[in-house]
Structure 1
Amino acid sequence: MTSFGRVISVRGSFARVGILAASQMAVSEARATVGRFVSIRSPTSTIVAIITEVSCEDMPHTDNYIASASVDLLGEIQGPPERPKFQRGVTHYPTIGDPVDMITNQELRTIYTPTSSDQINVGTLQQDRSVTAYVNVEEMLSKHFAVLGSTGVGKSTGVSLLMNEILKARPNLRIFLLDVHNEYGRCFGDRAMVINPRNLKLPFWLFNFEEIVDVLFAGRPGVPEELDILAEVIPIAKGIYTQYQNADRIGLKRIDPKTSGYTVDTPVPYRLVDLISLIDERMGKLENRSSRIIYHKLISRIDTVRNDPRYAFMFDNANVGGDTMAEVISHLFRLPANGKPMTIMQLAGLPAEVVDSVVSVLCRMAFDFGLWSDGVSPLLFVCEEAHRYAAADRNIGFGPTRKAVSRIAKEGRKYGVYLGLVTQRPAELDATIISPCNTLFAMRLANDRDQALLRSAVSDAAANLLSFVPSLGTREVLAFGEGVALPTRLRFKEVPAHQLPRSEATIATVPSATTGHDMHFVSAVLDRWRGATSHRDVPNDPGISNGSGARGMFVEAPMLQPSQGLDPDRFSLLKKPLR
């Protein structure tokens, strides 16, 4: 085979190749362009490189060359021809004049041949569609991963593909997915438990001090005087509950609530009635009426949140008590899995004011359970729209949530808690959180700041590949890091229709001509609207399935589909008296 070029310079992990005139090489080899793999033949090995630039400038003074190409040296193929083996890195550098060829199909297969059974098939190489692209599951999970890409490039579909393949390869791995837009509920069939505000049970006493303050003050900074009161009475309320529990136990010593040893962050139950009683007791001892206003406001704040039906997932049975922490963790993190190793946490129905607090609690409990169980039951925590919870700007978002996600990113792998980040705005994501992700799947990113952050996060010799990011097609990916054999431009494989993410509501850009202003439709919408913020329950229509997602907090009602027109019978159940 005639070489299409020769090495004309070498510098570190880079080299320049002089491309010979077309008359001296085959037509199929003339397409030496950016993104193509090439092989450099040396006496001891075949060096694998990728073309990052082709130019006619600064050409060598000879008539043999028509252009030059810059290549990044990635690895080398060694061993006998019958058993070649690929390894990253270069031990024997090329010399001036070494021949350069377009890489062969067999060499690509050598590079991407699975080295173990712990590999998942995610698609095909862009350079050669006959070669399957594999990802090493162990390397991808144990060292964290991230999926980055603008809206509309197939990012959610890629996440569905990766999660389904991981479930096949690791059936005993538990996966917890934060579903911000309620679009993954149908992607994993009966292997996933879908949790939404209707069936979520997350008792308020599981929230640490910063998290419960964020709930009570609706995401705004707390009033210092009220915070001081809460910090004083919460540990006592926990001690009182423990005292109640021990009262009926023979032989157990009665515990003084003030000396229980609990802190505001100890995850033990307490009752709101005790908390309010303690605040009220302190208020009654005050002689100055103006000083009582602070206590009045705090009690009113607690009552307002407790009685808001949108917060029922936190405050249901708030005064009954009961240590349900084991049941909550078992349900959320699938212990035991019972055939459903995956949890999809749908966040779209939660009150916007508490989403950050809820995510903080979930991240913190996932890490702490892994820590105190010594990592015996590994968990993959996948964070959709990660920039919302771990923003680069410390003045944006909820600090404890960023801290909880960061803790998983930095220390989670030691305790079997792995992190998967999904975001369309990597530049807005805290760099200290994305940097521990050693496998990156970069899809099309048009924003310059996003591309700059991606370059800083990629340590491979092929960082120049990132110049291709703005021109990637739909479902095309640049995969970097420990999980892939080489920095690779690949195309995610087709995902079956039943695994495609889709929103629970179908939005039509062109309204149906039959919709009009029919009062049945308007009334049905209003019932759903009001039902989302009340304790009333609308009867469910057994003939219509709305999947696993919740459009309202406590309403199980047919999904409204404007594009389908109006059928009075379809909405008749919504017009019946509410129970």
Structure 2
Amino acid sequence: MKDDKWFIKSKNGKERTGVLMKLEENDQSRYEFEVWFEYTRLAMNDIKEGTMLAVPNYATTKEEIHYSILEVTSIKPIHYAIGEDPQGYPGFVLEAAKNAAHDWTGQDDEPTEDTTTIQCTAIPTNLELLERKDGCDFQSEQNIPMVGAVVRILDTEPTKQVVNKDIDLDAEKDSLFVGGKLIRDKKVETFVRIEEFIRVHFGIFGFTGAGKSNLLSTYIANLLTSPKVVKIVLFDLMGEYTVLLLDQLLNKKINGQILTIGKQTLPEGLFKYINQLQNFSDLNTATTQFQKYTLLPKALVSEREFVKQGLQQLIKTKAIRFYQDAQSLTIYDVFFTDAVPWAQKRQKEKFNQRKEIVKKCLQQAGLTGNYQNTHFTPDLAKTIREELEKELGNHTYKDFKDKGDFNNHLAKLKELETTTDIFFAAGTTLDDVVKDLNNDKQSSLWIIQAHNSNELRNFSKRLGEKVYEERRQNGLVDPLVSFIFDEADEFIPSKTNGESYENSKEIVETLARRGRKFGLGIGIATQRTRYLDTSIMAQPHTYLVSKLPRESDRDVVAEAFGVSKDMFRQTFKFKPGNWLLMSHDATGLKAIPVPIQTEDANQRLKEFLKTLT
């Protein structure tokens, strides 16, 4: 080759080479390969999970060399004297092990012992490097590698081309974000397409300590600070993202809001302060209460005082909102959806008759249509309630009244007579949120929190349905919106336990299956994948996977994405912040897992906190 930077060399200038020893068919990756390299200590640093290898394939001719590109998925040094499972007389085995230790340390960059090898498992990337007299280029693989052929290690620049093969970095620069850097070579950045990442959904799966929340914070920050207008709706069950996304909430270029569902979600003093209620506390007291209620990552404990300043800024900039449920309800919500479920499910056969009663009462109350955009007022709620009671008093409908089919509706109407005239200074309605999510002028972050997890799940359905229906009816596809469910097993469990679980599961499934047509995507993050609904689990086209100690969790991910379970062996050695990134659409290397290291969100936040005064 004319360019000597294609393949890695040892200190003496020789190419570091191995031999393709074995080829086997594989249901998921087509083939699996075994490659041997001569052992040296420095070679162990050059060959790691994610390393790209080049091996001649059967399309090679006298004029052209076709190198199939393989990716290393596992690596281990082997010493012939002790093998992988030392057996035999203890004295001999111990002596052999001592000699092996000398062989490991005695071979720096020149192999001197033929008893040591580096054995690698690799999979195809479906690409090949074509070498001609006039140069080299990457293209689709033309044939399979030759067993016994010499294997070389791609250097940094060609590895960049492989990892981002189908991405035009110049043409797509405003539609990409950096997903991470290769674990084995930090100079190699892996780019991710924003639209494909959001529109066709993503999943983040890692056990406790893997850095799931840290990764989610990093990716959300990357999306929001990109040139593309993006809307993020994060359902924060544990309330941990107030600090993890503090810099984004306070970014003046972003509409950052924390939307709280239910009065108990915020401490009393803070709730009174943001709503300017009677006897509300001062700003410092409200801030102190807010800080006590906010989860602080361990890495930021030393920055506690700066975090407090940031929380105070959130209060002062009115970034903490309170969801006004009563003002958000429409006639359609109460009478034509399951927001107020029918009291008698056994009366389903009389649905049309109930519908006639409702429409008649609404007409008598002066309403003739447009129920989805008609909100309640105290007077309207009272008028409808009186008309409904009058209609149910008619002997024709006496059976409905006796069986309580409208009890829930009457109770809700009575409630709305008193609650719809109460407005809070920090109040936000469903229409306010939907209007912002459809505004293509500015990126937004909505962190949704609730003291009661049932309320959070129910709200997810109301918001999801509202956005989906409005976009469907008006043919809207922009801006991109990602509904992200942290602790996703609490929103889309395989087995539902109560109405709120059914509600959240229903809307997530709707968005997962049909939302992409209207620019709506989902993100799911959890440590227990085996508890997720499998039909929804299979919808994301982009996965990020770290340690999953339980085999049942790995099985679910492998089946959903269509990769071999053996692929996850490398994740056992992952440190926090290391992830296996694989995507059918969003990355340049299609459906090939790439081990990456992501940025530390805590470091980003520390830098931001220093700017607060």
* 1:474 aligned partner: 576
| Alignment partner of 1:200 is 2:316 | no
- Cα deviation for residue 360 of structure 1 reads 0.7
- Cα deviation for residue 14 of structure 1 reads 2.1
* 2:597 aligned partner: 491
* 1:212 aligned partner: 339
| Alignment partner of 1:100 is 2:151 | yes
Distance 1:289 1:400, change over 3 A: closer
Amino acid at match of 1:106: E
Distance 1:294 1:336, change over 3 A: closer
* 1:414 aligned partner: 517
* 2:184 aligned partner: 127
Distance 1:160 1:236, change over 3 A: farther
* 1:316 aligned partner: 420
After superposition, the C-alpha distances for 1:278-301 in whole angstroms (9 at most, x for unaligned) are: 332144335989964737954674
After superposition, the C-alpha distances for 1:315-347 in whole angstroms (9 at most, x for unaligned) are: 5249x9xxxx9x843543516749752141423
* 2:309 aligned partner: none
- Cα deviation for residue 165 of structure 1 reads 0.9
Separation in 1 of the partners of 2:515 and 2:179? 25
* 2:126 aligned partner: 75
Q: Using the TM superposition, name which of 182-191 and 413-422 deviates more.
A: 182-191
Distance 1:495 1:53, change over 3 A: closer
Instruction: Please give the TM-score of this superposition, normalised by the length of structure 2.
Output: 0.64
After superposition, the C-alpha distances for 1:506-532 in whole angstroms (9 at most, x for unaligned) are: xxxxxxxxxxxxxxxxxxxxxxxxxxx
1:156 to 190, 206, 213: 213
Distance 1:431 1:238, change over 3 A: farther
Separation in 2 of the partners of 1:358 and 1:223? 26
Amino acid at match of 2:412: I
Separation in 1 of the partners of 2:66 and 2:420? 71
Separation in 2 of the partners of 1:146 and 1:328? 27
Where does structure 1 lack aligned partners over 5 or more consecutive residues? 245-254, 501-544, 546-579
Amino acid at match of 2:478: S
Separation in 2 of the partners of 1:161 and 1:227? 52
Q: SS at the partner of 2:53? A: strand
What aligned pairs does 1:165-564 form with structure 2 within 5 A after superposition? 165-185=222-242, 187=245, 188=248, 189-190=250-251, 191=254, 192-197=256-261, 199-202=322-325, 203-205=328-330, 207=333, 209-214=336-341, 224=347, 231=355, 233-240=357-364, 243=366, 268-269=374-375, 271-286=380-395, 292=402, 294=404, 297-298=407-408, 301-302=411-412, 306=416, 315-317=419-421, 328-334=430-436, 337=439, 340-349=442-451, 351-378=452-479, 379-394=481-496, 397-460=500-563, 464-481=566-583, 482-484=585-587, 485=589, 486-495=592-601, 499=605
Amino acid at match of 1:45: Y
Amino acid at match of 1:332: V
- 8 Å CA contact 1:121–1:135 kept in 2: the answer is yes
Q: SS at the partner of 1:207? A: helix
Q: SS at the partner of 1:421? A: strand
Q: SS at the partner of 2:482? A: strand
- Cα deviation for residue 453 of structure 1 reads 0.6
- Cα deviation for residue 160 of structure 1 reads 1.5
- 8 Å CA contact 1:412–1:418 kept in 2: the answer is yes
Amino acid at match of 1:235: K
* 1:526 aligned partner: none
Corresponding residue pairs, total: 457
Separation in 1 of the partners of 2:483 and 2:434? 12
Amino acid at match of 1:44: H
Separation in 2 of the partners of 1:408 and 1:297? 32
Amino acid at match of 1:458: F
Distance 1:84 1:163, change over 3 A: farther
Q: SS at the partner of 2:404? A: helix
Distance 1:28 1:355, change over 3 A: same
After superposition, the C-alpha distances for 1:182-201 in whole angstroms (9 at most, x for unaligned) are: 33345212312332245324
* 1:503 aligned partner: none
* 1:110 aligned partner: 161
Distance 1:193 1:85, change over 3 A: farther
- Cα deviation for residue 128 of structure 1 reads 1.7
After superposition, the C-alpha distances for 1:395-446 in whole angstroms (9 at most, x for unaligned) are: 5554343222112111211222122222232222212112121111113223
Instruction: Please give the TM-score of this superposition, normalised by the length of structure 1.
Output: 0.67
Amino acid at match of 1:100: V
Q: SS at the partner of 2:217? A: helix
Higher helix share: 2
* 2:51 aligned partner: 37
Distance 1:86 1:353, change over 3 A: same
Separation in 1 of the partners of 2:348 and 2:215? 49
- Cα deviation for residue 79 of structure 1 reads 4.8
After superposition, the C-alpha distances for 1:87-123 in whole angstroms (9 at most, x for unaligned) are: 6x63321012111233322332222356321321233
Distance 1:178 1:28, change over 3 A: same
Separation in 2 of the partners of 1:261 and 1:408? 24
Distance 1:77 1:83, change over 3 A: farther
